[in-house]
Amino acid sequence: MYEKLGISKKVIDIVKNAEETLKEEFKKIDEVCDENSLKVLAAFNNNNISEAHFNSTTGYGYDDLGRDAIEKVFAEVLGAEDALVRSQFISGSHALCVALFAFLRPGDTMLSITGTPYDTLHEVIGIKENKSSLKSFGIKYDQIELINDDFDYERIKNYLKSNKVKLIEIQRSKGYSTRKSITIDKVEKVIKEIRSIDKDVIVMVDNCYCEFVNTLSPCEVGADVIVGSLIKNLGGGIAPNGAYIAGKKELVDLAGERLTLPGEGREVGPTLGINKQILQGIFMAPSVIASALKTAVLTSKVLEDLGYKVEPKYNEERADIVQNIIFGNEYDLVEYCGGIQGASPIDSFSKPLPWDMPGYDDKVVMAAGAFTQGSSIELSCDGPVRKPFIAYQQGSLTYSYGKIAVMKAVSMLLNNDK
């Protein structure tokens, strides 16, 4: 069966040897999975989830008991006062956009302390000109770069002493950058530093790709609000779309009024039969994320053994499910993505090629043979076609499927080695 998928005996042996080395890393991942599973189950039990919560609403969506129960479960799991969990969010970026427009007013200043945000927020903020951006509404933006993959604590404190800032944004995952993702202990430390200067500034964390990688949520270490996507970690590969905003109740309410309309806010929004999938998704999320992490750790070990630079290394602490492979050339990047696509359940016959993807400045090559379009908790691998030609691999619903895909991709690299 391996041969039929184009996986060589050499690669099978490489992966078996890597797995022997990774037993302790896998054990750590399983322990985190157990703790997060306990947390999710407790939230289901504490909120008396029943089959009645699977029922659907249409039209305005008044009195949707399931929707309300889902938001209570998410709030408890994430250590937040409240949560807004809706299929009306198109993506994590859309949820971030809603949050920013909900919290900021003309004349306010937004400060990113993790450098330039993810590409899809550039036109939202006004880094790239757009007539509908925050900038077009008179909202100011500034940023502070990381230093050696950590916050520039002194510059942040000095900036807050000299400027009135309404909202600080922290993007934990690296996006299409070469920096490390931000661990929860660093988030906690920087929030304490921020609060020593300004107790009122809103600290908003873009938590995409990071949920359940560890046992703590940013809300539990002082963040005012966090945002994430349901076709990433917390959807568990089951939720077909949607996103969440969780945190302080007053902020969640503001986001609800921005998503729908003032005066109705969170009271409207039909679920159209999605409740069961969202509940089942978060229920499965701890184990799915464990599978994604094991796939990432295996990828890191195998590709490093083959001589490629990787980030993070297999035994480093992780903040998200993303694994970087620095190929150094376009050919290997495209070939590896082709291998991942070839071992996908959907569109395995397709070969991903670089293309002009909406929201990105560079051409992007993307392997994404997923059941849900754009889902990155299902195994996907993509990267902008620019130096140093980095593949960003994330997800996998099970470790077995992830391992097979990595073996296929590595076989393609070795077979086409020039």
Domain ranges of the chain: 3-37+283-415, 55-272
Sheet holding 380-384, edge to edge: 309-311, 322-326, 390-394, 380-384, 364-367
The helix (run of H) or strand (run of E) holding residue 110 is: strand 109-112
55-272 classified as CATH 3.40.640.10: yes
Burial class (CB in 10 A: 0-12, 13-18, 19+), 309: middle
pLDDT per position as a tens digit, 149-167:
999 999 999 999 999 999 9
Residue 316 tokens read as: 């480093």
pLDDT per position as a tens digit, 247-289:
999 999 999 999 999 999 999 999 999 999 999 999 999 999 9
Of 230, 233, 232, which is closest to residue 245 (Cα–Cα)? Answer: 230
Question: 361 pLDDT exceeds 80?
Answer: no
Q: Do the beta carbons of residue 273 and residue 288 sit within 8 Å?
A: no
pLDDT per position as a tens digit, 216-225:
999 999 999 9
Q: How far apart are CA 277 and CA 291, in angstroms?
A: 19
pLDDT per position as a tens digit, 341-359:
999 999 999 999 998 877 6
Q: What is the DSSP string of 223-236?
A: -SEEEEETTTGGGT
Amino acid at 11: V
3-state secondary structure (DSSP) of residue 62: coil
Going from the C-alpha of 270 to that of each of 62, 86, 260, the distances in angstroms are: 7, 9, 11
Backbone phi, then psi, for 266, in 5-degree steps?
A: -80, -5
H helices then E strands: how many in the chain? 11, 12
Residues 6+ apart with CB under 8 A from 267: 62
Q: How far apart are CA 219 and CA 170, in angstroms?
A: 13
Share of the chain above pLDDT 70, in %: 99
Going from the C-alpha of 106 to that of each of 134, 230, 328, the distances in angstroms are: 8, 30, 43
- With the C-alpha atoms ordered 351, 356, 361, 363, is the resulting torsion angle positive or negative? positive
CA atoms within 13 A on the CB side of 228: 29
- With the C-alpha atoms ordered 69, 73, 76, 78, is the resulting torsion angle positive or negative? negative
Question: 98 pLDDT exceeds 70?
Answer: yes
When pLDDT is averaged across residues 69-81 and rounded to a whole number, the result is 98
Of 179, 178, 121, which is closest to residue 387 (Cα–Cα)? Answer: 178
* Residue 114 neighbours by CB distance under 10 Å: 26
Query: CATH for 3-37+283-415, among 3.40.50.2000, 3.40.50.11540, 3.90.1150.60, 2.30.110.20?
Result: 3.90.1150.60
- Whole-number pLDDT of residue 176: 81
Q: How far apart are CA 334 and CA 344, in angstroms?
A: 15
Question: 417 pLDDT exceeds 60?
Answer: no
User: Average pLDDT of the chain?
Assistant: 96
- Give me the residue label for tokens 């799915």: 288
When pLDDT is averaged across residues 293-305 and rounded to a whole number, the result is 98
Q: How far apart are CA 353 and CA 54, in angstroms?
A: 40
- Whole-number pLDDT of residue 418: 45
Of 285, 303, 174, 306, which is closest to residue 236 (Cα–Cα)? Answer: 285
- Answer whether the bond into residue 388 is a cis peptide, omega within 30°: yes
Rg of the chain (C-alpha set): 21
Cα first-last separation, the chain: 27
Of 206, 30, 21, which is closest to residue 124 (Cα–Cα)? Answer: 206
When pLDDT is averaged across residues 324-334 and rounded to a whole number, the result is 95
- In eight-state DSSP terms, residue 355 is B
Distance of CA 25 to the CA centre of its chain: 21
Residue 77 tokens read as: 């799991």
Q: How far apart are CA 185 and CA 151, in angstroms?
A: 12
Distance of CA 87 to the CA centre of its chain: 17
Q: How far apart are CA 406 and CA 390, in angstroms?
A: 16
pTM equals: 0.95
Q: How far apart are CA 140 and CA 135, in angstroms?
A: 6
Question: 416 pLDDT exceeds 70?
Answer: no
Question: 5 pLDDT exceeds 90?
Answer: no
Question: 22 pLDDT exceeds 60?
Answer: yes
Confidence of residue 177 (pLDDT cuts 50, 70, 90): confident
Question: 238 pLDDT exceeds 70?
Answer: yes
- Whole-number pLDDT of residue 2: 87
